[in-house]
Structure 1
Amino acid sequence: MRNMALVLDKRIFHALNNYLCEEKKFLFGVLKVKSCNATLSVPFSKAECKYDGYWDDTTGISEMCAIPFQTIFDKGVSLLKMIEDAGEDGWTDEIDDHTKSALIRLNEYLENKDRHVKSLLTVLNMDDASETDISVAFGEHLLGLLAPGKTYRVDGRSKGKRRCQCGCDAFPAFNNTGIGHEEVWHGYIDLVLPSCPSSYEDMPSIAKIVVQMDEEKHSKKRKLDFDDIDSEDPRNLPRPDINDTVESEEDSVSTEEMTEIEEGEEKKTSPGGKSIVEVKQVLPEKEYEQALAQTIVFSLLQKKEHPEFKHHMIPNIVISPKEVEVLLYDAENDILLCGNRFRLFVEKNSERLTLFDYSIVFLWMVLNYKIFCSFSKTETLKHYKSNFPIFAAGKWEIYKNDLKSNVAHFNAVENSPNVQFFLQTSVKLLK
C-alpha cells in the first residue's frame, strides 16, 4: 500500500537512534553449552544448562563475541529509518498489511503509554500481587499490546487466577502452555503471545516472568522507587559468564563503571584482565538456566511445526518488574544468543516513573520478529555453534521430531541410569 496516512511518534526515532542503533549499547552475546541434563526427563524447573560465552583475544584483550541489535533486526531498523527520512508527509514505499498493523500497534501504545504505565505500576507495587497477577499485568499492559494479534495466553496451571488487578477488569485467557516432551526437557510457559489471525503465518513468542517471592516481597523494598537509576545510561553488560558480570538490583552501572566498581574488598579478574565485581544477580542462575532450556525447546518446536520459516531465530523474553533480557536460539543453525539486560522504567521526575521508550521499541521488534528479524549472518557464526545437539545426542531425535505444544499434562517418565552408572557396573563385572 502507498502513501500511508500515519505519522509515527518522534519518540520511536529518538529511541532507535540514541539507544538501539548505537553499536555498543544493545548487544547479543554468543553462547555455547558446556553441559546440560537435556537427555533426562526433567521439567524446566529442574533443567540444568551450564554455558559460557565465545571469547576473542586476537587484539590482546579478551572480549566476548557479540552481535549488535541492528544486525539481527536489520529489517526493522531499516524500515524505521526509511520512515524517518521520509518526513512527516509520509512515505511512498510499499508496506504490507502486517507491517502496517505492527506500526499502528507501536504508535497506539506510545499514545496511551501513561495509562499503561499507571496500570503496570499499580500491580507491580501491590504488596499482595502474585506472580500470576504480574504475568497478567505484563500481558495486558505491555507485551500483549505490542504483539501480533494484541493477545496473549497465561499458563492455565497458574495459581490465583483472577482479573487484572490494576482496575481495568480485563480477564486473560488461561490456557495450556506446555511445550517439550516428557522424555526430555518439558514444562509450562508463563506467557505465550500468539500470532495474528489465521490469514497470517503463525509466529508465537514466549515470555518468562521472573518474580522473586522472598521476604522482601511484602516490604517497602519491593516498591519500584528506582532512586538508583542512571537515566542517561541505564543499560547493563551482556552476560559473558554470569558468575563474572552480574548486576544487583541496587547498583545500575555503565560499561565503564563496571570495570572499576568494588564491593567491599573483593574483586574478580575478567579474562581481559579488567577488574570487575561479583554482585547479587537480578536473575538467579537457576532461573537463567531454565530460560535457556525454554528458549532452545521453543525454537526447536517452531522449526518442527513451521519448517517454511525463512529463519528460525526465535526469542524468549525474560522479564521482571524491573528489567528485561532477551534470549534467542536459531534451531536451524544451532546459534544461541543472550542480549543485554536493560531497565524497563526510568524516573521521569521526582515523583513519577515511566517506561523507557527504547524498551518499548525493543520489545516491539522482538515480539514481531517474524517481520523485523532478518538475521543473515549465520555463515559468519558457523564456528560459534552452541553445540546443544551434541549434548542432547542421546535424545536428539525427540528434540527434532517429537516435541509437543499446548500440552495440559506431561506423563511421568522414569529416567534411565546415566552413563556413570553403567561404567561403574561394567567395572564390577570385570573383576
Structure 2
Amino acid sequence: MKIDSGYLDNSEDMQCPCGCKTYIKVGDNSMGHEEVWHGSVDILVGPVAVTVTKSSIDEGNSELEGKGDSAFDLEIYKLEELRHQLIPESIIFSFAMHCGLVPIVGLSQEYFKIFMYEPNEDLLYESTEFPLFVEPMSIEGRQLHISSVVALWMVINYDCFCTGVKTSHVEFGYKANFKKFLGEKQREIYEHHIKIGGLKNIESDVSEYKAGGNCGKFKRIEELLA
C-alpha cells in the first residue's frame, strides 16, 4: 500500500492503523500526462486506486489530513454526487495500468463506490454505493457490513476474480463514448503515454476539462459520458 505524499504531515515510521503494524509507504501517486488530464489518487493498494472524501480525512486520522492540492480531491460527502470526479479518475487510471479493467474505489466515512473502465472496448462499469456499517447501530456499537466487506475484499483482489469484459456486454452496444471525442493526438497520448508519477505541481492548460465550483477539471468528461 502506498499513500500519496500530499496527504501526510509526517511520513516517517507510519504504521497501518488496522493493527498489523505494517509500515506504510509514502510516495508520488500522481498519474496522467502533462498535455491531457492529470492528478493524484490518495492510496494505491496494489493495482487498485482509492480516493477518499475530504470529510473522511478531516474527521479521521489527523496524520492523513488532506492538503487539497490534487485534482482528484473529492470535495463533498455523498459519493453519488461525485460521479463527475470518479469517472475521469477511473478512465485515466485504466489507461495508466495498461491491463484492461482495473478498479477505482471512492471512499467516504459511510460508503464506498466502485468504478471500472475498459479502454479497449470503451466500457464503463459503475457500482451502487456500498454501506460500510450496519444500520441501525447496535448496543455493541457500529458493526461492519459483512456483504460490503466481502465486496471490497473482492475488489482489492480483483485480479483473482475478474474475468474481464463479457462478449454480451460488448454486443449490447452501450459505450462510454470517451474515445469518440478524442483527437488523434489525444488518443495517442491516452493509449501510449499515460504514466504514474512525476506529475505533481504541474498546471493543466486543458481548458475543456475545467469547470467552476467543486467540479475541478471533471465537468467536460462527465458531459461526454452522460
Normalising by structure 1, we get a TM-score of: 0.39
Contact 2:79 2:106 in 1 (8 A): no
The 1:166/1:177 distance shift into structure 2, 3 A limit, reads closer
The residue type paired with residue 208 of structure 1 is T
Contact 1:333 1:378 in 2 (8 A): no
Contact 1:345 1:356 in 2 (8 A): yes
Structure 2 equivalent of residue 183 of structure 1? 35
Displacement of 1:410 in angstroms is 5.6
Instruction: Determine if the alignment matches structure 1 residue 331 to structure 2 residue 127.
Output: no
The 1:164/1:381 distance shift into structure 2, 3 A limit, reads same
- In structure 2, runs of 5+ residues without a counterpart are 61-75, 210-226
C-alpha root-mean-square deviation of aligned residues, in Å?
Answer: 3.1
Contact 2:53 2:108 in 1 (8 A): yes
Q: Please state whether the residue corresponding to 1:184 is helix, strand or coil.
A: coil
Structure 2 equivalent of residue 385 of structure 1? 175
Structure 1 equivalent of residue 147 of structure 2? 358
Contact 1:181 1:410 in 2 (8 A): no
Instruction: Determine if the alignment matches structure 1 residue 212 to structure 2 residue 7.
Output: no
The residue type paired with residue 39 of structure 2 is G
Q: Which consecutive aligned stretches of 4+ in structure 1 deviate over 6 angstroms post-superposition?
A: none
Instruction: Determine if the alignment matches structure 1 residue 346 to structure 2 residue 161.
Output: no
The 1:413/1:346 distance shift into structure 2, 3 A limit, reads closer
Q: How does 1:265-304 map to 2 (within 5 A)?
A: 282-283=78-79, 285=81, 287-303=82-98
Displacement of 1:299 in angstroms is 0.7
Match for residue 409 of structure 1 among 187, 200, 205: 200
For 1:158 and 1:207, how far apart are their aligned partners in 2? Answer: 13
Note the alpha carbon deviations across 1:118-145, whole angstroms, 9 max, x for none: xxxxxxxxxxxxxxxxxxxxxxxxxxxx
Displacement of 1:376 in angstroms is 4.4
The 1:296/1:166 distance shift into structure 2, 3 A limit, reads closer
Question: Larger Rg: 1 or 2?
Answer: 1
Displacement of 1:415 in angstroms is 4.5
Q: Percent identity?
A: 27
Structure 2 equivalent of residue 398 of structure 1? 189
For 1:281 and 1:333, how far apart are their aligned partners in 2? Answer: 31
Instruction: Determine if the alignment matches structure 1 residue 370 to structure 2 residue 159.
Output: yes
For 1:167 and 1:327, how far apart are their aligned partners in 2? Answer: 25
Structure 2 equivalent of residue 73 of structure 1? none
For 1:206 and 1:185, how far apart are their aligned partners in 2? Answer: 17
Contact 1:206 1:317 in 2 (8 A): yes
Contact 2:34 2:199 in 1 (8 A): no
Structure 1 equivalent of residue 221 of structure 2? none
Displacement of 1:401 in angstroms is 1.0
For 1:206 and 1:417, how far apart are their aligned partners in 2? Answer: 25
Note the alpha carbon deviations across 1:37-78, whole angstroms, 9 max, x for none: xxxxxxxxxxxxxxxxxxxxxxxxxxxxxxxxxxxxxxxxxx
Contact 1:182 1:410 in 2 (8 A): no
Structure 2 equivalent of residue 31 of structure 1? none
The 1:340/1:372 distance shift into structure 2, 3 A limit, reads same
For 1:350 and 1:317, how far apart are their aligned partners in 2? Answer: 30
Displacement of 1:281 in angstroms is 7.0
The 1:156/1:353 distance shift into structure 2, 3 A limit, reads same
The 1:324/1:213 distance shift into structure 2, 3 A limit, reads closer
Q: Please state whether the residue corresponding to 2:35 is helix, strand or coil.
A: coil
Displacement of 1:165 in angstroms is 8.9
The 1:164/1:288 distance shift into structure 2, 3 A limit, reads farther
Displacement of 1:193 in angstroms is 1.2
Q: Size of the alignment, in residue pairs?
A: 188
The residue type paired with residue 354 of structure 1 is Q
Q: Please state whether the residue corresponding to 2:54 is helix, strand or coil.
A: coil
For 2:138 and 2:202, how far apart are their aligned partners in 1? Answer: 52
Match for residue 161 of structure 1 among 10, 16, 25: 10
Displacement of 1:374 in angstroms is 1.1
Q: Please state whether the residue corresponding to 1:370 is helix, strand or coil.
A: helix
